[in-house]
Chains A and B, each alone.
Chain A
């Protein structure tokens, strides 16, 4: 089993660095914050087009949400298909699972080109937000 330890590179002054985490196989088994996330907050992040951006590409079992995307698989059953740790790695850095993916890496600040100044050195979601989204995805059992 491969264990990769990743830790944050220098963040902009005043910005919190990324927390370190360990990738084991195709998963990050441990919570980035050391605590479980909150599924209700995660749901709000997933639905927010400026924060999670998920529904730009994905659709899901959310009949009341208008304008869902279909560039990516439907999120129905995502929590049944993957373990919590697999969902966490998928969000943190999907490019480790599929280098050609268009799914953004939500918790990575390295290896990016021409990032707009407002976003330089910042991950798309914070560690706590990642945990919230993971907790929400885990509820999508069918």
Chain B
């Protein structure tokens, strides 16, 4: 019987799901958010709400939270009240398992589910300013909270699927995400430090984009760099990757809306 078989098939039964962690993983004590690899100016820009450009989307999101929409003519606030209390900690545990769909959904999809099912409004397109604004506003309510996605029998197969994608070599350059983010973090790719790829601050204002962008957009950037075919927005592969990355970042604090180079 191989160690891999033991790990996948037996250990979860006896030891719970702690066995998702492998020896090659970045040890908890060395886990660092992307913000710790940035220069002091970029960190200062993130940490001050008056200079953080992502706060513009948060303000738009706050207005959208109170705006009635759709055939139901309801606002987010009509169901959820004050986001400061009802949305506190929510982003720290997404993607979360949705029982009706039988799979995890990320925050953007969850917001769109409320739009179509509760507000009877059309879903907002991925990467639209309206969806980024609402996601940033909801994410902002978890700032400082420790990332803690569910790690149980329902989410385990999806976390494992995300890990499989993370460790698989892809693209013309034949690199895996792990080649850079597990094995070479802290080193320099051209001039830029390779971070550990923890999704602490999404949606994030990326200076290179000169706008706010989602985690899926960031994942697509790295895949394009590997000359791999990026997964389309909203695909199961992207959500599995998001879930694995959040599980891998467990314990780190949410920084949304973060600023990144």
Q: How far is the CA of A3 from the CA of B183 in the complex (A)?
A: 33
Stretch from A19-27, A30-38, A76-84, A110-118 at the B interface: A110-118
Instruction: Please name all residues of chain A whose beta carbon is closer than 8 Å to the beta carbon of B194 when the two chains form the complex.
Output: 71
Question: B237-248 interface mask toward A, CB cutoff 8 Å, 1 = contact, 0 = none?
Answer: 000000000000
Which residues of A from 118 to 134 have beta carbons under 8 Å from B? 118-119, 122, 124
12 pairs across A/B with beta carbons < 8 Å? Answer: A70-B187, A71-B184, A95-B174, A102-B183, A104-B173, A112-B169, A112-B171, A113-B171, A114-B171, A116-B224, A116-B229, A124-B172
User: Given A113-B170, A115-B229, A104–B189 Cβ distance below 8 Å?
Assistant: no
A interface, size bucket: 20 to 34
Q: Is A61 an interface residue (CB 8 A)?
A: no
Question: B191 on the interface (CB 8 Å rule)?
Answer: yes
Tell me which residues across on chain B come within 8 A of A115, comparing CB atoms: 170-172, 227-229
* Residues A69 and B189 in contact in the complex (CB < 8 Å), given A115-B229, A116-B229: yes
Interface residue B51 (Cβ < 8 Å from any Cβ of A): no
What is the minimal beta-carbon distance from A52 to any residue of chain B, in angstroms? Answer: 12
A9-B229 Cα distance, complex, nearest whole Å: 21
Cβ of B99 under 8 Å from chain A: no
Residues of chain B with a CB closer than 8 A to A124's CB: 172-173
Shortest B180–chain A CB gap in Å is 8
A117 to B172, CA, bound (A): 10
The reply to whether A104 and B174 contact each other, CB–CB distance below 8 Å, is yes
Q: Output the least CB separation between B108 and chain A (Å).
A: 23
Q: How far is the CB of B120 from chain A (nearest CB, A)?
A: 38
CA distance A83 to B71 in the complex (A): 73
Interface 1/0 per residue, B163-196 and A, CB below 8 Å:
0000011111111000110011001111110100
A118 to B171, CA, bound (A): 11
- Interface positions of B from 25 to 80, Cβ below 8 Å from A: none
Complex CA distance for A122 and B192, rounded to whole angstroms: 28
Whether B229 and A102, one on each chain, are in contact in the complex, defined by CB atoms closer than 8 angstroms, is no
CB distance from A95 to the nearest CB of B (A): 8
Instruction: Give bound CA distance, A79 to B183, whole Å.
Output: 27
Q: Which of A53, A67, A95, A102 has the most CB of B within 10 A?
A: A102
B191 with A66: CB separation less than 8 A: yes
Choose from B170, B174, B190 the contact partner of A56 (Cβ within 8 Å). B190
Is the pair A116, B190 in contact by a Cβ cutoff of 8 Å?
Answer: no
List, in ascending order, chain A residues with CB within 8 A of B188's CB. Answer: 67-71
Q: Which of A67, A105, A117 contacts B174 (CB under 8 A)?
A: A105
A138, CB-defined interface residue at 8 Å: no
Interface presence of A55 (CB below 8 A): yes
A49 sits at the interface (CB 8 A): yes
Known: A114-B228, A115-B172. 10 other contacts (CB 8 A): A69-B187, A69-B188, A69-B189, A70-B187, A71-B184, A71-B188, A95-B174, A104-B174, A114-B170, A122-B172
User: Within the complex, what minimum Cβ distance (angstroms) separates A54 from chain B?
Assistant: 10
Q: Which residues of B contact A114 (CB under 8 A)?
A: 170-171, 228-229
Q: How far is the CA of A112 from the CA of B171 in the complex (A)?
A: 6
- The docked-state distance in angstroms from the alpha carbon of A58 to that of B14 is 46
**Chain A positions within 8 Å of B224 at CB level:** 116
Shortest C-beta distance, A100 to chain B (Å), equals: 9
